[in-house]
Amino acid sequence: MDDKTMTVVDEHGTEFVMTILFTYEDPESKKNYVFYCPENDTSEETPVFVAEFDEEGNLRQVTDEDEMTVLERVLSDWQDDQDDDEEA
């Protein structure tokens, strides 16, 4: 994983290059998360994925609903900041 892309492997062994949008450390749990999307997909409807990651860069799917609610808010705030930056 470099600074801007990473490779995700699905359950069938297929590799996908993803663009890292940003990372986030939850101040309470100290868990680290990465928000990412398919490489070179800049459409408005690009899916954004989030996963927890450890020190070795291993990803873990987020399954807890409360945790996901917090992460959706983090993503929304980040997107709002991006919109503000584009308007400036």
Contact 36, 24 (CB under 8 A): no
Contact 32, 53 (CB under 8 A): yes
Categorize the per-residue pLDDT at 20 as very low, low, confident or very high, splitting at 50, 70 and 90.
very high
In DSSP terms, which residues pair with 48 in a beta bridge? none
Residues in contact with 20: Cβ distance below 8 Å, sequence separation at least 6, in sequence order: 1, 3, 4, 5, 6, 34, 35, 36
Q: Report the pLDDT value the prediction gives residue 42, as an integer from 0 to 100.
A: 63
* Mean pLDDT of all residues in 6-35: 94
The amino acid present at 54, given as its one-letter code, is D
Q: From the CB of residue 41, how many other CB atoms can be counted at a distance below 10 Å?
A: 11
Categorize the per-residue pLDDT at 2 as very low, low, confident or very high, splitting at 50, 70 and 90.
low
**Can you give the pTM of this predicted structure?**
0.86
What is the radius of gyration, based on Cα positions, of the chain?
Answer: 14
pLDDT, tens digit, 9 for 90 and up, residues 39-78: 877 677 889 999 999 999 899 999 999 999 999 999 999 9
Q: Report the pLDDT value the prediction gives residue 1, as an integer from 0 to 100.
A: 45
* Mean pLDDT of all residues in 9-32: 94
Residue with tokens 């996908």: 16
